[in-house]
Every structure is written in structure tokens, then in C-alpha cells.
């Protein structure tokens, strides 16, 4: 049985469509990534799959249960680490875990054992009796991951689990997630707008853009789609002319110009650079610098959405904010 | 989904207790208002001839049940506000995503709200003894606490219903000004409802707190404007209705 089946999942806020006919299937045990800029609809998708929001149209099954008709069964099957911290700062780490456990129906020795187990797992034993408000950002995240695992969910949502954390802490969280995955059994849905994170952790990635599915595949195959490496040439004058000339060769898959830089998608880039120099010399164009890059998900994103992640972020974030404001503003 | 989870009710109550006693500022803040009312009204109007007081009842004895009613109203509405704080701090999602019925959540929050309100009520009662309040009998005090539970459930239900539909804390201050204060001043907590002009008196009769305060007076003083049975009947019905309203609003609200 698939862990998650979403069929044309749609959610609108007034006239703004946050999630637009999204369909995908996640297999059991998979670490599945939702990648996209802020405002692409990732969190809304997670909230729909977590029963916190109701779909406007379409349907979704989580662990075999319908997210609308069988909300309670879905709730029992899932664990979540929310994008923003959702801890009670006035309670200690252990009390936060006990709160969670009691809400899920555990008590007595079983409750205490589960809390101890997950505290161990995330290495917070020494901090268990301190109030959560005194924790660092990374410790809060770890406590939340521990909490999400306490009832041994079949599906675990990690909504931007490393947002706002420094690089070192982020790598620590990645290690935890990889360790958890090894223990098996749990399916992970990870949302992120960090390419690197998706690339390193995920078995498959769904690229979301403006509420829609832009692409869905393994990181390796998504990168294959680009058909080669990226060669970036900084030139002294007339990059357009060089782009035109280069495009005549069948091994150049794509060429684009930005300022004095020319970006080419080339099969086996390292073997073609000498040829590119020859072409430039024939045109009387001098190349001032060369860089070769194996394709990244950033390039994949650009390929599928026609915009860079950062630009998409700027516009989508504003769009979503405006829509949410007007939606909730009207309710007041 | 249906049904009540006792563990959920318990843990929400427990959390409220822990937070209440760990946040000293909140404790002092919410006790200060009833204390000032007691002190300034009780002392200031000590010798004033307030019309229509029950015969043989001093103003302080008349006032204390009213202040206790006010306390139940204010603290109960705070239970609604605490939902909004939880939303603000993200913790509401942790509660809403749990596999428990929304009714359990409403009952748990109500239990927490009632417990804090009763604790504060007891504090006010003790302070009022210093101001010269005379308690008739132990049975009367016990009865008064029963009435206080009914008042609290009524306004916690209303507060939760409002909170389930609101997104920010600023909006709640509107409710404070346009719902809570009129409910308080019309309830006869500070002066007999009979002193109001006819039109306002009619409005006061639609105010659940009027019956709450009246029942508290009956419990403490043995004399009141309405029959005790009527007070209780109204409080029972309204509190049950408001609890259901709160639960329904919570059930149909979205968690984020």
C-alpha cells in the first residue's frame, strides 16, 4: 500500500489557489521531498495531508485513510515537525513530550519509556528538565523531531526542518533524518526550499511552483533532464554572438546570456571547453574566465519553472502573504 | 473521533495549571483588577446609600458576590485568549493535529479555565474578608463555588467559540470592550439591576452573568432578586448551550 496518494488535491483561499490539482503517490519507507520557493504551496499541501486544512477539491489518502472522512485515523498515523516551532516554552522538554504522549493515549510506564527513548535518540537527555524556552533553535527542532516520533507514526512530515538554523546545526539535523530513515518503516515527507537539502536527503523530489507540480522524479534523473553540465563563460564583449555560434553545435543543448556571462548546457562539459575557446577566437571574442558546474537542482528548478528559485521566492512570498491577509482579514 | 478522551482533558488541564503557577505576572495581573474594584468601590461607597440594596445588606456584602462574578467572567474569557496565544506561538497546531475529539479539547481547556478561575475566586474571597465581607455558612460557600463553575463554563464556551474563528490577539481586545465590559456592567455586579432604566434592565435580563451574580448573592447572603431555582435553571441551560457552541465552532474550524 502506498503511504500517500494525492489526487488533484486543491486548496483555495478566496480567489487565491495555494495548491492547484496536485497529484502524487509516495511509497512506504520513502523519503519524499517537496521542493519549491516560499509560497509555492508546500506547507499548505502538508497541512492538507495532516488534516489541519480541508481540501477545496480533490482527495488524499494517508496510510490508507481519507484526510477528510477519516481524520482521526490519519491523525493517529502521522507525526509532524511544523515549520514554526510548536513547543510550549513554559513546559520543560520532558513535559512537552509527556503532553504529546498523553494526547496520543499513552500513559504510565509506557509514556515515560517512550519519552526517554526519543530524548535519547536526539541527545537531549541532559536538557530534559529545562524549559523549552531556554533551548537553542537546533535543540527545539530536535525536541520537535523527538516528539513527532514518539507515537511511532507511519508517515512523518518534516516541514522545513532546518529553516533558520546555522549550517552546522543543519548538517546535524540531516544526520538525524538519515539515521531515522535507516531504522526503516517510517515514510518521510520533507518540504524544503534548500536545493542541497533535497538533493542530499530525498529519494524522490516533487518540484512545486505556484501551487502546481512542476516535476517529479529522483534527484539524479531530474538532473539528467538538463542533458549535461553547465559551462559559464565570462567574455569581453558580444556574448550573444558567441551564444549564436555555439548553438550551431549539436553538443550544445542550451545557451543563455546574462550580462557579460554566457551560460551553456553542454554534454561532457570538460571535454568541450577547448572547442569553445576555438569558437570564441574565430569570432575575435576573448574569454576572461571559465567555470564548469555539474548540474544542480537549482538548474533543474530553472529548467522546469523558467525562473530561479530566489526570484520565484520573492514574488510568490508576497503573493501568498497578500492572499492570506485578505482572506483572514475578511473573517475578522 | 467521537467521544471524550479523559487523558486529553487531563493533560490540557495539567498544562494550564503548570502555566498558571509558572507565570507569576499573569497571576498578579488578573488578581489586581478584582482587588482594585473591591478596594476602591468597597471603601469608596462604604457609606453611600445605594438604592434598592436588599434590606440589612451592606454595600461590601452586596459587592463581593458581584466581584466574584466579574472574576469568573474575566478569567473565563482568558481561556479563549489562551487559544489565540497558542495559535500565535504555533502550539495550537500540536493540539489540533492530535487524534482526539474536538470536544475533548474544549472540555480540557474548560477544565483548566475553571480551575484557574476558582483558584482566583478563592483568593478574592479571602481578601474580601479583610474588607469586612461576612460569609454566612460553609454550605453557602460550597454552593457559591458550584455557581462559579456554571458561570465559568458559560463564558469559557463563548470565549472558545470566538477564539476558534479569530486569527489575532488584537481582535480579542474588541471583544473585551464590546462584549465583556457591557456584560459585566449590566450584570448587577456593582449595583442592583433595578436601578437601571427600563430599556437597559431588559438587556440586563438577557445577560447570563446577571443570573450568575444573583445566584452568588443568594448563596452568600440568602437574599437575591430572583428565585435561586430560576438562576440555576438559566445558568445550567446557558452554560450547556455555550459549551456545545464552543465545541461545534472548534470542530468546524481549521487548525491553522
pLDDT in tens, A193-251: 888 888 889 999 999 988 999 999 998 888 877 777 888 888 888 888 888 888 888 88
Q: Quick check: A118 and A97 in contact, CB under 8 A?
A: yes
Q: Quick check: B165 and A331 in contact, CB under 8 A?
A: yes
Touching check for B26 and chain A: CB below 8 Å? no
CB contact under 8 A, B89 and A86: yes
Q: What percentage of chain A exceeds 70 in pLDDT?
A: 92
Residue-wise pLDDT for B24-72, tens only, equals 887 888 888 888 888 888 888 877 778 888 877 888 889 999 999 999 9
Q: Is the pLDDT of residue A316 over 80?
A: no
CB contact under 8 A, A107 and B95: no
Q: Is the pLDDT of residue B16 over 50?
A: yes
Handedness of CA A35, A54, A66, A74 (dihedral sign): positive
Q: Say how far apart CA A188 and CA A172 lie, in whole Å.
A: 17
Q: Quick check: A86 and A131 in contact, CB under 8 A?
A: no
Q: Quick check: B158 and B73 in contact, CB under 8 A?
A: no
Q: Say how far apart CA B86 and CA B77 lie, in whole Å.
A: 15
Touching check for A325 and chain B: CB below 8 Å? no
Q: Say how far apart CA A102 and CA B11 lie, in whole Å.
A: 7
Residue of B nearest to A67 (CA): B97
Q: Is the pLDDT of residue A254 over 60?
A: yes
- The one-character DSSP state at B194 is G
Residue-wise pLDDT for A43-65, tens only, equals 999 999 999 999 999 999 999 99
Q: Is residue A286 within a helix (H) or strand (E), and if so which, with residue range?
A: strand A286-293
Residue-wise pLDDT for A167-186, tens only, equals 888 888 888 888 888 877 89
Q: Say how far apart CA B69 and CA B212 lie, in whole Å.
A: 7
Per-residue pLDDT, A332: 36
pLDDT band at A309 (very low <50, low <70, confident <90, very high): low
Per-residue pLDDT, A319: 63
Per-residue pLDDT, A11: 96
Q: Which of B63, B66, B70 is nearest to B45 (CA)?
A: B63
Residue B203 distance to chain A (closest CA, Å): 26
How many degrees, rounded to 5, is the angle at CA A156 between CA A57 and CA A212? Answer: 35
Q: Say how far apart CA A177 and CA A305 lie, in whole Å.
A: 28
DSSP assignment of A106-161, as one string?
--HHHHHHHHHHHHHHTT-GGGTTSBGGGS-HHHHHHHHHHHHHTT--SEEEEEST
Q: Exposed, middle or buried by CB within 10 Å (0-12, 13-18, 19+), for B4? A: middle
CB contact under 8 A, A332 and B5: no
Q: Which residues of A54-72 are buried (b: 16+ CB within 10 A; e: fewer)?
A: ebeebbbbbbebebeebbe
Q: Exposed, middle or buried by CB within 10 Å (0-12, 13-18, 19+), for A222? A: buried
Residue B81 distance to chain A (closest CA, Å): 15
**Joined grid coordinates for residue A316:** 510568490
Q: Is residue A6 within a helix (H) or strand (E), and if so which, with residue range?
A: strand A4-13
**ipTM metric:** 0.87
CB contact under 8 A, B256 and A47: yes
Q: Average pLDDT for residues A307-330, to the nearest whole number? A: 62
Q: Is the pLDDT of residue A18 over 60?
A: yes
Neighbours of A250 (CB within 10 A): 7
Residue of B nearest to A108 (CA): B7
Q: Average pLDDT for residues A21-25, to the nearest whole number? A: 96
Q: Quick check: A141 and A165 in contact, CB under 8 A?
A: yes
**Joined grid coordinates for residue B161:** 467559540
Which range among A121-135, A180-194, A294-308 has the greatest average pLDDT? A121-135
Residue-wise pLDDT for B78-130, tens only, equals 888 888 888 888 899 999 999 998 889 989 999 999 999 999 999 999 999 98
Mean pLDDT of the residues in chain A: 87
pTM of the model: 0.81
Alpha-carbon dihedral angle through residues B132, B137, B141, B143, given to the nearest 10 degrees: -140
Q: Which of residues 95-134 of B touch A (CB under 8 A)?
A: 95-101
Q: Quick check: B186 and B213 in contact, CB under 8 A?
A: no
Touching check for B198 and chain A: CB below 8 Å? no
Q: Where do runs of H (alpha helix) occur along chain B?
A: 6-22, 24-36, 42-44, 59-88, 91-96, 102-130, 138-164, 169-175, 181-186, 198-205, 208-221, 228-252
Handedness of CA A256, A261, A262, A265 (dihedral sign): negative
Q: Say how far apart CA A164 and CA A141 lie, in whole Å.
A: 10
Separation in Å, CA A242 to CA A190, A265, A287, B74: 42, 14, 10, 75
Per-residue pLDDT, B162: 87
Neighbours of B26 (CB within 10 A): 15
Mean pLDDT of the residues in chain B: 89
**Joined grid coordinates for residue A130:** 529545562
**Joined grid coordinates for residue A186:** 517510517
Nearest-CB residue to A102 (from B7, B93, B171):
B7
Nearest-CB residue to A103 (from B8, B93, B168):
B8
Q: Is the pLDDT of residue A330 over 50?
A: no
Q: Average pLDDT for residues A251-265, to the nearest whole number? A: 84
Count the alpha carbons within 13 Å of A18 in the hemisphere toward its beta carbon: 26
Facing residues of A206 across strands?
Answer: A34, A216
Q: Is the pLDDT of residue A89 over 90?
A: yes
Handedness of CA A69, A72, A78, A79 (dihedral sign): positive
Amino acid at each position: 500500500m502506498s503511504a500517500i496518494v494525492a489526487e488533484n488535491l486543491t486548496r483555495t483561499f478566496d480567489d487565491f489557489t495555494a495548491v492547484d490539482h496536485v497529484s502524487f503517490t509516495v511509497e512506504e519507507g520513502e523519503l519524499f521531498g517537496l521542493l519549491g520557493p516560499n509560497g509555492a504551496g508546500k506547507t499548505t499541501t502538508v497541512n492538507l495531508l495532516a488534516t489541519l486544512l480541508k481540501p477545496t477539491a480533490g482527495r488524499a489518502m494517508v496510510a490508507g485513510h481519507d484526510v477528510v472522512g477519516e481524520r482521526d485515523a490519519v491523525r493517529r498515523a502521522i507525526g509532524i515537525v511544523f515549520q514554526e516551532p510548536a513547543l510550549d516554552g513554559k513546559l520543560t522538554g520532558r513535559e512537552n513530550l509527556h503532553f504529546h504522549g498523553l494526547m496520543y493515549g499513552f500513559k504510565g510506564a509506557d509514556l515515560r519509556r517512550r519519552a526517554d527513548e526519543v530524548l535519547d535518540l536526539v541527545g537531549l537527555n541532559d536538557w530534559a528538565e529545562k524549559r523549552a524556552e531556554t533551548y537553542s533553535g537546533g535543540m527545539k527542532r530536535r525536541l520537535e523531531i523527538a516528539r513527532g516520533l514518539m507515537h511511532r507514526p507511519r508517515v512523518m512530515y518534516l516541514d522545513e526542518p532546518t529553516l533558520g538554523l546555522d549550517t552546522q546545526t543543519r548538517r546535524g539535523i540531516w544526520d538525524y533524518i538519515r539515521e531515522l530513515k535507516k531504522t526503516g518503516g517510517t515514510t518521510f515527507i520533507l518540504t524544503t526550499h534548500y536545493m542541497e537539502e533535497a538533493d542530499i536527503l530525498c529519494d524522490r523530489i516533487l518540484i512545486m511552483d505556484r501551487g502546481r507540480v512542476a516535476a517529479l522524479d529522483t534527484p539524479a534523473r531530474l538532473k539528467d533532464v538538463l542533458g549535461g553540465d553547465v559551462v559559464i563563460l565570462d567574455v569581453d564583449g558580444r556574448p550573444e554572438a558567441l551564444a549564436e555560434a555555439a548553438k550551431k553545435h549539436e553538443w550544445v543543448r542550451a545557451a543563455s546570456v546574462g550580462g557579460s556571462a554566457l551560460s551553456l548546457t553542454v554534454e561532457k562539459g570538460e571535454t568541450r571547453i577547448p572547442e569553445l575557446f576555438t569558437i570564441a577566437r574565430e569570432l575575435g571574442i576573448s574569454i576572461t574566465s571559465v567555470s564548469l558546474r555539474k548540474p544542480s537542482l537549482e538548474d533543474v528548478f530553472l529548467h522546469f519553472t523558467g525562473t530561479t528559485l530566489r526570484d520565484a521566492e520573492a514574488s510568490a512570498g508576497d503573493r501568498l502573504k497578500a492572499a492570506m491577509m485578505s482572506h483572514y482579514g475578511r473573517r475578522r | 473521533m467521537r467521544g471524550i478522551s479523559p487523558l486529553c482533558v487531563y493533560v490540557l488541564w495539567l498544562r494550564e495549571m503548570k502555566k498558571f503557577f509558572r507565570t507569576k505576572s499573569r497571576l498578579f495581573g488578573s488578581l489586581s483588577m478584582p482587588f482594585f474594584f473591591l478596594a476602591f468601590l468597597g471603601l469608596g461607597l462604604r457609606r453611600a446609600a445605594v438604592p434598592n440594596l436588599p434590606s440589612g445588606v451592606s454595600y461590601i456584602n452586596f459587592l463581593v458576590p458581584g466581584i466574584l462574578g466579574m472574576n469568573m467572567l474575566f478569567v473565563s474569557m482568558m481561556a479563549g485568549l489562551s487559544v489565540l496565544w497558542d495559535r500565535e506561538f504555533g502550539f495550537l497546531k500540536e493540539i489540533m493535529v492530535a487524534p482526539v475529539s474536538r470536544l475533548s479539547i474544549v472540555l480540557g481547556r474548560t477544565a483548566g479555565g475553571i480551575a484557574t478561575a476558582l483558584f482566583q475566586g478563592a483568593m478574592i474571597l479571602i481578601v474580601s474578608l479583610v474588607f469586612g465581607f461576612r460569609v454566612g455558612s460553609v454550605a453557602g460557600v460550597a454552593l457559591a463555588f458550584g455557581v462559579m463553575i456554571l458561570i465559568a463554563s458559560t463564558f469559557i464556551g463563548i470565549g472558545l467559540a470566538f477564539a476558534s474563528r479569530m486569527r489575532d490577539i488584537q481582535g480579542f481586545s474588541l471583544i473585551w470592550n464590546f462584549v465583556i465590559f457591557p456584560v459585566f456592567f449590566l450584570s448587577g455586579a456593582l449595583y442592583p439591576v433595578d436601578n437601571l432604566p427600563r430599556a437597559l434592565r431588559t438587556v440586563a435580563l438577557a445577560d447570563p452573568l446577571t443570573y450568575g451574580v444573583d445566584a452568588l448573592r443568594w448563596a452568600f447572603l440568602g437574599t437575591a432578586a430572583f428565585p435561586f431555582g430560576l438562576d440555576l435553571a438559566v445558568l445550567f441551560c446557558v452554560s450547556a448551550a455555550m459549551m456545545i457552541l464552543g465545541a461545534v465552532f472548534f470542530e468546524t474550524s481549521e487548525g491553522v
